[in-house]
Chain A
């Protein structure tokens, strides 16, 4: 969905390096999410943010941090990358908290940690 963009699309880094993945959205949504996708495991939630001042850990937040710089921007950082963080990372957005709210996903960032 072009309304949710992620940079970079692909990244190769070395163990121990700090890297940042960025997400921007033009949908005007308050809620933003970071997921990682691993083969056979589906998507797992890393962090989520309901507005600029509200950031929460998801189910697999260890080794990651986030920053919500503005309503439209939500960045994910790997403080010291390790090989098992090699995965496909997705950013998503959604509107206010209703049960039927749909999450809209970015194109993903493929990360390889050597």
Chain B
């Protein structure tokens, strides 16, 4: 079954420290992976995506994500967290080649809290 798991409901980190938000997936076809961020009272904003090629993907606001096929993971990272990074983060996967290729499958979301 197609699924995305974000095992942490909340991640707490001090400003200036590195952050990681975890995501694992399960698909039957080729995975195309996305990260979105949701700030309070805002819609989801696209951060980055993995299609093919380099396993390290760079995105907006200094975020990057590492695709690991053997571990079926796509963790979001940032070397130095900012208080303004505090938001809700969603991982999503498109199961390309399956009957459900049209849709994005979203994880449950991880709330990131960056302490000053």
Contact = CB atoms under 8 A, between A and B. Distances in A.
Nearest to A31: B102
A105 B43 contact: yes
B51 A105 contact: no
Contacts of B107: 42
A66 interface: no
A110 to B, nearest CB: 9
Contact of A97 (B9, B90, B102, B109): B102
Nearest to B46: A102
Contacts of A92: 44
B49 interface: yes
B90 A42 contact: yes
A5 to B, nearest CB: 10
A99 B101 contact: yes
Interface of B: 4, 9, 30, 32, 34, 36, 41-46, 49, 51, 90, 94, 96, 101-104, 106-109
18 contacts: A1-B43, A4-B43, A41-B108, A42-B106, A42-B108, A43-B44, A43-B90, A45-B104, A48-B102, A92-B44, A99-B30, A99-B94, A103-B104, A104-B46, A105-B36, A105-B44, A106-B43, A108-B43
